[in-house]
Structure 1
Amino acid sequence: MEQVELGGLAVSAEGLGCMGMSSVYGAADWDESVAVVRRALDLGVTLIDTADAYGLGHNEVLVGRALAGRRDEAQIATKTGMDFTTGRGRLVVRNDPERIKAAADASLLRLGTDRIDLYYLHRVDPEVPLEESVGALAELVAEGKVRAIGLSEVTGEQLRAAYAVHPIAAVQSEYSLWTRDPETTVADAARELGVGLVAYSPLGRGFLTGTVEAGALAAGDARRRLARFAEDAAAANRSIAQAAARIAEARGATAGQVALAWVAAQAPRLGVPVVPIPGTKRLRWVEENAAALGVRLTDEDLAVLDGLAGQVVGARY
């Protein structure tokens, strides 16, 4: 698979999001999840994305086990800052320097490695100056524990403030056919600074594949609480997946592959490297996703796909 540069870090042009292997989308099988990570490596997908919040550390342990014996084939991206340990599912964002450093050591232990290739602030802590949080990350780089720094879900102003402390390799944001927020919130700053965009949920949390029936989601599936998956909204949004499916049929591809190909194709327009990281816990989907970057979309295809975001019913959260 083609390589992309994120702040001097060479990664695969498509990554693998591992969150669903441990949380959010219902039950997952450990053995198959491990097999998915290893199959991704076989297919040339080397950017493996996790976080200490996914499954309260479970996901990092899983990724570490999956990469045992193959660590040098992968670039591990993990995150810190989201604290779900306060009980009752309550999220607290904590990015004080002491916690960041302790969290990095804990992540290294769970992952079974001596370095994190790309370490993100999962969210910005409003109670801690961003410059202090990035300063702590910079110290981890100086210590050799982290190779490159990233931020998740930030504005252009926040990116510039962070970059003034230490170079930022990538911003991770939700970005897809039906979520275009980064184009107006952070893309200009990323282009000016040479920062890449890592696109999470590039398949619209599975909806854009046309294979997800919103009304049939399992009780433990967090998508049941999202506005776009509510009954009326999902029915209206189905036309977006159908539009991708029509193009897919003409290209000998699937709707999901078209959705991923569209995300990757935005790099020249945005002027930044764009790396989609579709998540899956199934072998069949990791193989399909890895083939998506081979789909070539015409200018006519792109014009149709570009207009779909304006049809979305329901807020992102």
Structure 2
Amino acid sequence: MKLAILGLGKMGGNMARRLILGGIDVVGYDRSAETVNTLATDHGLIPAESVEDAVSKLSGQKIVWLMLPSGAPTEEQIKDLIPLLSEGDIIIDGGNSNYKDSQRRGVWLAEHGIGFMDCGTSGGIWGLENGYCLMVGATLEVAKVIEPILIALAPAADRGWAHVGPIGSGHFTKMIHNGIEYGMMQAMAEGLDLIKGKQEFNLNLAQITELWRHGSVVRSWLLDLTADALKGDQNLTSIAPYVADSGEGRWTVMESVEQGVAAPVLTSALQARFRSQDATGYSYKLLSMMRNGFGGHAVKTK
């Protein structure tokens, strides 16, 4: 099986490597020729010099996986791909697009006879080693074709991936996933900030977070990453207390308003990120560190 991946950043590059290790041929293109050449030389990627070149190296039913920023970059790339593809070919959007855009794109591509899959992808920079969690929206026909690719990317054939529903549902599920993530991170950061502030006890945050990792009801991958980071520097002196929001937390809160469903924790977590951009505090350093730990998101340094 062969597919093309357009966008070989941290996650896209690691996804290409995992697919190649799983026995799938991957044609890759990125604006960075150096990235493409490194993946080709070190990991067996089939290099492409342009989008057109990447598509031309596919045969039969063509599958193109996009790992691009949401919004205009993804929109423009899909528009440019349409004349390069034929009826029955498939485009997969593995980025964090708004689910409403994915629904619209699915209708748009269907008019050209091109299949579409929205794939909410979680796993960050650790997906190469651990496998990715893949939340897929597509027709049954498209999902069946793409299944071997999903299995190669997931932690195992029977877990870590699911065809959750029709087009749009994959990105919707990932949006809510990220909203929940905001709340979990905020609760952990605030709690550890309180522990740090109890100076009379002189508590060791590295010791406590490591303790919680074993048998505690709050044990999680986020806690694992936090404990590991705190072993090096409990004060996080090199990290600025600034926490970016990538968009999906906002979309989750907007969805709660549209549905009339109360989501006070998720809303508060989003507002806290906004507040971090004008304030200082240890909890914001922790949040920024966690985002970097699981997703490789840039950290604003002092």
Q: Give me the TM-score of the superposition, normalised by structure 1.
A: 0.34
> Which of 1 and 2 has higher RCO (CA within 8 Å, sep 6+)?
1
Q: Give me the TM-score of the superposition, normalised by structure 2.
A: 0.35
